[in-house]
Amino acid sequence: MIRSVRTVCCFWLLAISAPALARTCIVPNFKVLHNQTSIATMYATSGKPCSVILISSPGPMLSARIITQPSNGRASIQGPRIVYVSRPGYVGDDRFTYARSGMNARSESVTGTVEMNVKVADHW
């Protein structure tokens, strides 16, 4: 019993000391609505990549595209991800829009558009 308490204790301390591994990107979960525009926010570190994984809807995803590029960085499609990178040194707000097209559970064509607000800081 004492041995297992020590293991839990040590793991807990390791988890608390983990801030040395700084995050460079935070993307809270959000829903992409079929045939509508959703608004979401990501938190990115200046000059570092931050990505959104394009999770499949009930049917297959057919394509994704960047509709509007951000003013202070670049958004691109890399496999199943939309990747945003700000200009190095930029801190502030940015925004881009992307869309993904696919099929719903009834094999109907659907498009989900996302206006992504980006908060860029030196670190998170």
pLDDT band at 10 (very low <50, low <70, confident <90, very high): very low
Quote the pLDDT of residue 59. Answer: 67
Instruction: At 67, give phi and psi (nearest 5°).
Output: -90, -50
Quote the pLDDT of residue 104. Answer: 83
**Domains recognised in the chain with CATH numbers:** 23-121 (2.60.40)
Quote the pLDDT of residue 56. Answer: 62
| Distance in angstroms (rounded) separating the CA atoms of residues 112 and 101 | 6
Strands (E), the chain: 25-26, 36-45, 50-53, 61-68, 73-78, 81-86, 92-103, 109-121
pLDDT band at 64 (very low <50, low <70, confident <90, very high): very high
Quote the pLDDT of residue 115. Answer: 98
Quote the pLDDT of residue 22. Answer: 61
Per-residue pLDDT tens for 90-102? 999 999 999 999 8
Quote the pLDDT of residue 57. Answer: 60
